[in-house]
Amino acid sequence: MLQTLRELRESDSAAYFRWINDPELVRLNANYAPTSFSQHQGWFSSIGNRSDLKIFTIQDESEQPVGSCSLRNIDYIHRSAELQIRIGEDSARGKGLGSRAVRDLLDFGFKDLHLNRIFLHVFASNARARRVYEKTGFTTEGVLREAYFIAGEWEDSILMAMLRKDYQKKQATP
């Protein structure tokens, strides 16, 4: 069976640089601003040293990088973290890799990091991402109305989360 997530490799840097400079892709969850290669390299070389961030590369069946996902803002006292995912390659979208990556990241967060709560923010207009999160068991906790101004338009942000007890219940259900 394919291991969907793997540790970040130096060879992934070029793909990550390409994805962060794709305006349409970035606008799915943030304002777009071009990133220089030196800015990217500084970020890429520093992320391995952060205790509040666990980042993984999503790979396809040929083990090529197609996206990234992470647990960020990890709070080891309150045992919570924010989930973020990006499928960077057009050819990898709509094939279930995002759902598998989210499930794998939930496993890591709840089993390895012993988190109690994993949450995320998703734009209301990002229907594909919302379906993935709902399918993998996230619950909507609220809506931040017109929270972000993206490409000249206001975006509502939906706050979703999964608790350890919800995760365990989902694991127990066949």
Positions marked active-site: 133
Do 89 and 127 meet the contact criterion of CB atoms below 8 Å apart? no
The CA-atom distances, in angstroms, between 66 and each of 6, 26, 56, 81, 138 are 11, 15, 11, 23, 23
Kindly state the DSSP code that residue 163 receives in the 8-state scheme: E
Given strand 53-59, what is the order of strands in its sheet?
Answer: 5-7, 53-59, 65-75, 80-87, 117-123, 153-163, 139-150
Distances (CA, A) of 150 to 31, 50, 91, 156, 174: 5, 28, 25, 10, 40
Q: Are 53 and 72 spatial neighbours (Cβ–Cβ below 8 Å)? A: yes
Residue whose pair of structure tokens reads 């399918």 in the numeric block:
135
Amino acid at 1: M
